[in-house]
Amino acid sequence: MVKGTRRERAASEPHRCHEPPDRASHEIEDFANGLRNQVRTNADTVETHTLATLLEAYKNARRIVSLTNVFRRNAILTDCRNHHIPAAVLQPATLTRDLTKLDKVLRHSGQGLAIPLESVSRYYQLPISDCAMTKDTLTVHVRVPIKSRGNRIGNCTSS
């Protein structure tokens, strides 16, 4: 006689899988490999999208630089046509340095700058320059207004 019900006997007996243990672990491993491949594919896709985005950003940066160069060149040409000193070519610091040197030379001959160094921005507003362009160079000739020392200019006298 068998003790217990059929259910009790099944619970007390070791559980047997219909598949051998090697096959189950193999399927788990296959499933894990499939997941790894999906992760790699997704990572490759993300990396591809990232690289594509970086490439577009680089192209946009090149376009911006190109447009900036066009605007800069147009500003230089406009200044040259108006006989103004192109600030993009002859920057205020450079002009100030050169005018300072010129002023020292002029002092020895009893002359000076008609426009004081403190007003260097006025040099850019006056039609006192000529530009000469070649294929790859731009030469700016500036006619600096000078005066004799002690001459009156407007309401000011220089000493």
What is the pLDDT, as a whole number, of residue 3? 52
Q: Does pTM top 0.75 for this prediction?
A: no
Cβ atoms of residues 158 and 147 within 8 Å: yes
What is the pLDDT, as a whole number, of residue 11? 47
Kindly tell me if the per-residue pLDDT of 40 is higher than 60: yes
156 confidence band (pLDDT: 50, 70, 90): very low
Hunting for tokens 């940066």 — which residue is that? 61
φ/ψ of 155, rounded to 5, equals -100, 5
Q: How far is CA 13 from CA 1, 8, 16, 19, in A?
A: 17, 9, 9, 17
**Segment 92-108 mean pLDDT:** 95
Query: String of b and e for 134-159 (b: at least 16 CB within 10 Å)?
Result: eeeebebebebeeeeeeeeeeeeeee
Strands 152-153, 146-148: pairing is unpaired
